[in-house]
Structure 1
Amino acid sequence: MASAVHNSNGASDRLYAAIGEFLARHRLSVDPAHYAFAHKVLSDERGPLAATVARLTDGGVRLSSRDIEELGGHAVAGTPAGAPPEPSSPPQLTVVADNKVQSLVARAQMQVEGFSDTVRAFHADTRGFGRDLRASRDAIRATGDSSAIDEVVRMASSMLDRVLSAEAKLSEVTQEADKLRHELEEARDDARRDPLTGLPNRRAFEDAFTTALTERANVSVAICDVDKFKSVNDRFGHVVGDRVLKAIAEALRSGCDEHLVARYGGEEFVVMFTGLAPADALSTLEGARAAVAAKRYRLRETDAPLGAVTFSAGLTAVEPGDTIGSALGRADRLLYAAKEDGRNCIHIDQ
């Protein structure tokens, strides 16, 4: 019995140590949501959640709080258990977006069915008109009866009314199709855009990266992470934290305006430089970093100083044979080195 207890304690100790290593590797704070998520992954290493995490982190990419929320970690980092989610929490936005897409798909299906009904009805009318017209023609040829001519006129007049009605219905369907196409384009754009900052989101960035690889463009990628962002949320609240994220997003967008800037998750942003040598990409990103560091933020409500806000970054050139995981893995390691080097700086491949 003592041996069994000892073995049980040993397994628990190993799991506890593995959870700590998992949180440290992904630089996640030790809060109940992150701990529970790590426990669920590591206690079933062959389960579907562990497989999904392995796929997302292939090449050294670390998990963000957004990833954990999307994978089922419903508590927002820094929010006490049982507290209501922030109004802009990603799971709620995802549900809204999904409902919108489902509604548009249902409308599209109804429109296609309505269009098909109109075409089928019009086809039946024209087939019947052709049959009756041939019968009247044959009657005129056989008997010379002038009343048959009156019947042809009547049928032609009736058919003209049906054609006009069908044209009106087709015009209505066309207008609805144009409106639906516009809404679908908006929904597709919403699905690829971060709702807080207005930047492209992770999905949009990964699609653009894949396209750049197929075009064999001269590409460098950077991961930028806001320094000590958790302390901003802890001291001033998530509303102020959101304003900081929007300010960083705008600084990166304006400083790297010819290149793709995206919010990758949480306080993490990514930049894809295309057509620039790595040294030029570094110079561009350094300008954005310096602009952010030079600015002094104040609380909107009280005008009290918020202090300096900075970000650190890792920048790497994309090499032949790279995947998005391997390239971002290198950039993430460089970002970690920049954090270790005192923050508010950029590390690049040597």
Structure 2
Amino acid sequence: MYLEKIDGGGESTGHGLIHAVLAFLEDQRLDPTPLNYGFAYRIVSEPAGALAVEVARRTDGGIRLTGPEVEQLGNMIDALAATVAVTPAVEPAPVPPGPVAVAAAETAEAAALVTETLRQVAGFATMVSEMRTETRDFGRDLAERADALERATPVASAGTAIAELARITAAMRARVEIAEARLEQATREASELREQLAAAHDDARRDPLTELPNRRAFEEAVEAITQGPVHVAMCDVDHFKAINDLHGHPVGDRVLRAIGSTLVRECPGHLVARYGGEEFAVLIAGIDVVEAEVLLQRARIAVGERRYRLRESDTLIHGITLSAGMVTIAPGETLLSAIERVDALLYDAKRQGRDRFVRQGDR
């Protein structure tokens, strides 16, 4: 489920897998601990496995897992796997070359990324634990020698105790210097990890072709708005398949990027996202419905008036237009309901001949 949701935007399986791990942890409100990372990785890398099936059953209806449940489920599946492993395994068939082999290689790459993340987190935790142990041992030894010094009356005994204190202190100083160096290195690694996670979080919400926010980012933005009015528009490129068939997919990709940049330019202050395929979504908030309709109509016309040329021959590509629909989300209405309504308006625009904008209430 998580892998499909991430990979739908056109990302590679490798990057999609690590994004799916992060998405699972975020959706379930689980801390990014090594245990939780490993748990999430097993789910998204084996969507048909016993663990993923059980997690899907338990989280059906929006229920989130608890920390104890994660540990319990992991242990339960491990025990089951150990039991199954006793049965002689069937030799797997060799993986044929082609898309399957490519997907396997990308999955291996994603596994390496997850392993490196786990190594950094676990290494930092281990280092902190060792520093605490060394500090505790130093404090204990120092207290013992201090007691011995207080009890020592002869000069020789006092000198021995002082020498022992000096030895312990020098040893601890050396340990502290080593720990400081390790801490500095761990801090750098932690900083790099935070940057990687932030980049992965951003990538999971960005369409790689147009660099626009993707469907997930759009839906999250709509849900985050608490005050109205909120208008949702859907714009679909007319006859886009014909553009791909006639000029090729690379040209079609450039057309999508150009349309996306035009919509962003014409809708300043509002969110434009690539919702999927040749469909763009626009989130318009803070203005009334009349202003929103004027804004969207102006943007749609600007897309049709833009000149699109073939880079190779400077030949104009004619007939690139948008069909669009827009609705205002009603108080208490779900995003799903609003999307269904705006999709119906978009269909009406297509049915009426395309290259047009159908307003709310025109049906």
**Given the alignment, which residue of 120, 124, 127 partners 1:118?**
127
Name the CA distance, whole Å, in 2 between partners of 1:339 and 1:236: 23
Secondary structure of 1:315 counterpart: strand
Shift of 1:204: 0.7
Unaligned runs of 5+ in 2: 1-52, 54-97
Name the CA distance, whole Å, in 2 between partners of 1:280 and 1:100: 48
Amino acid at match of 1:221: V
Q: Which residue of 1 aligns with 2:339?
A: 328
1:347 partnered with 2:342? no
Shift of 1:165: 1.1
**Given the alignment, which residue of 236, 241, 246 partners 1:225?**
236
Distance 1:190 1:102, change over 3 A: farther
Distance 1:224 1:330, change over 3 A: same
Moved more, 290-299 or 271-280: 290-299
| Superposed CA RMSD | 2.4
Q: Which residue of 2 aligns with 1:54?
A: none
Shift of 1:317: 0.7
Cα displacement string for residues 31-68 of structure 1 (whole angstroms, at most 9, x for unaligned residues): xxxxxxxxxxxxxxxxx9xxxxxxxxxxxxxxxxxxxx
Q: Which residue of 1 aligns with 2:20?
A: none
Secondary structure of 1:223 counterpart: strand
Q: Which residue of 2 aligns with 1:234?
A: 245
1:172 partnered with 2:185? yes
1:150 partnered with 2:163? yes
Q: Which residue of 1 aligns with 2:279?
A: 268
Secondary structure of 1:224 counterpart: strand
Amino acid at match of 1:229: F
1:183-198 alignment to 2 at 5 Å?
183-198=196-211
Name the CA distance, whole Å, in 1 between partners of 2:109 and 2:207: 16
Name the CA distance, whole Å, in 1 between partners of 2:218 and 2:182: 42
Shift of 1:124: 2.4
Shift of 1:322: 1.5
Q: Which residue of 1 aligns with 2:140?
A: 131
Q: Which residue of 1 aligns with 2:76?
A: none
**Given the alignment, which residue of 166, 173, 177 partners 1:160?**
173
Name the CA distance, whole Å, in 2 between partners of 1:255 and 1:242: 20
Amino acid at match of 1:329: E
Distance 1:190 1:290, change over 3 A: same
Unaligned runs of 5+ in 1: 1-47, 49-83, 86-91
Shift of 1:264: 0.8
Shift of 1:158: 1.0
**Given the alignment, which residue of 286, 291, 302 partners 1:291?**
302
Secondary structure of 2:291 counterpart: helix
Q: Which residue of 2 aligns with 1:209?
A: 222
Distance 1:100 1:181, change over 3 A: farther
Distance 1:104 1:217, change over 3 A: farther
Name the CA distance, whole Å, in 1 between partners of 2:109 and 2:203: 10
Higher RCO (Cα < 8 Å, 6 or more apart): 1
Distance 1:103 1:202, change over 3 A: farther
Shift of 1:104: 4.7
